Structure 1
Amino acid sequence: MIVTVTPNPALDVSYQVDRLRPGHTHRIGTVHERAGGKGFNVSRVLTDLGRDTIAIGPVGGVLGDSVRADLDDAGIRHALLPVSAPTRMTITVVATSAPEGEEATLFTEPGGPVADDDWRRLHDLVQSHLETAKVLVCSGSLPPGAPVDCYADLVRLGHAHAIPVLVDAGGPALRQACAAGADVVKPNAAELAEAVGGDDPVAGAELLRAEGAGAVVVSLGVDGMIAVTGDGRWRAEPPYAVAGNPTGAGDAAVAALATGLAEAQPWPQRLRAAVAWSSAAVAAPVAGSVDQTVLADVRDQVRLTNLDLTEPARPT
């Protein structure tokens, strides 16, 4: 079982319009509402693809009730912690007539502050589900006032139960998770650059590994992903750019990486799957889904490069 933790869930609302014009009234073509937050998206992808998972996170208020109802409707196993802070909303506006296909504009609320006692309750809730877990995934932003070592604490909790931990975060929470020894971290290029103060993703990933991370996977958008691990360094690229909504593509990649971690797959296989699942998520209309047709077309065509063979050797 793959346990996912979403400290800052949301009700994700997606609007589809013909064209986004600031300052104008828009007629909405279709509306999608679903439980969101990066960890919930990971569990949704895993559920859709037949993997065993449970989604954990704090929810509150009317939108929290909507999140719970949507997870139930989708058949996603969950353990939600009732809190007083209201669950936030995110809005994605997808313009279907954009010059390069579908273009997504995101509006994200920060989330309500969660009380210190609720963080302790969340910690205990996660711990209660680690007996049968194979992997712990900690994913997404932290709400205002959250302890900066929240993910580091969960890394230590997972390791106390001999469970590998994958963290998808940015900022100080990312650095602290690395220092705690997270088995895999997956920042995107912008998060990595902000964390380490440089634009070279391989050098930045090496720095995070030196700080304690077991492996670092950097998502580069349409250019694929880079993995810097104790077993080697690779770059994987999709065979072509997939048009659609990129929201949730990184979450699909995390789902693939968590699956690879649970099944002890070799790193090249994990990275190929992460790029394929990510590409298939772009083709899906909303975050947390993958387009099975695109997945079948892309997965055997992902290009893999061994960076240790194509770049100068690292200094000893």
Structure 2
Amino acid sequence: MIDLRRLHVLRMLDEHGTVTAAAAALHLTPSAVSQQIRLLGRDVGVELLERVGRGVRLTPAARSLLGHADRLYAEWERVLAEAAGAPAGGVLRLCGFPTALAALLAPAAAELRDAGVAVEVTEAGNAECFALLLAGDADIAVVLPAPDAPPRDDPRFDQQPLLHDPFDLVVPAGHPLASAAGVDLAAAADEVWIGADGCDDSAIVMAACSAAGFTPRIAHGAKEWNAVVALVSHGFGVCLMPRLAPIPAHHRVVRIPLAGAPSRAVLTCVRRGSRGRPAIVRGLGALAAVAAQSPLPLVDGEHDEAVPHRHTYRS
């Protein structure tokens, strides 16, 4: 018999690369990780690790075992969906990137809480959301299909569309483009740009500018949207900003819809096989309800409202 908990430890070692990193992700000691893998090797009658210098690597037998692990775990999640109505510990754990937390997860979690569901919400970067799901520290994540994210057909995760999040051009109040009801992105080709260095959206921004025929001249950078908009407000440049990201009222900027606006698909993600668990069904339902009430288009087009006119934000 294979202990799935030990198999999960092997999966985490493969994911994180070292015993120490896997132990940190699993909230275990390195010695406990090594012991679990030794016991798994004993259970299946093969060696799973081999020494390489001061470290270890997975043996071919371990690789073969991992080839079946994702399918076994997906089946186990389906068993749990049929057998139990509550997530581990009785708390539904949600995570997402910052703008998704503010616009989607927080209101969905409030609805769940008011309906008597215990919830726990964690802000996490896109890559960290997948790590939290895999480690069992989150049940539902709101993520982006970023270049470094697992592909949609990754056997460990079930990723489904939630909504589209268009990008707007944000310029200082009084800027020559500020009076436009809408513009082509190429109109900002000669502008100085503010880079969103710490955001998962920078690749989308660069690709959109490239498609419009220019490379943005980035003179300043910030890691949070609030800081990016503050720089725009004080006349240091322009930026592209997803519509989910709020703009504080005291910033003097204008948000202009773009013709053929670039957008990012916002996805829900759960461990494959777990989407049918009753608590997760409720959580996904709450997120879908919040998304349906937003002014953003749903991915399936059912809520594809007209893009609003430019918005001016002044103190």
Per the normalisation by structure 1, the TM-score is 0.22
- Return the structure number with greater relative CO, CA threshold 8 A, min gap 6: 2
Per the normalisation by structure 2, the TM-score is 0.22
Greater Rg by CA: 2
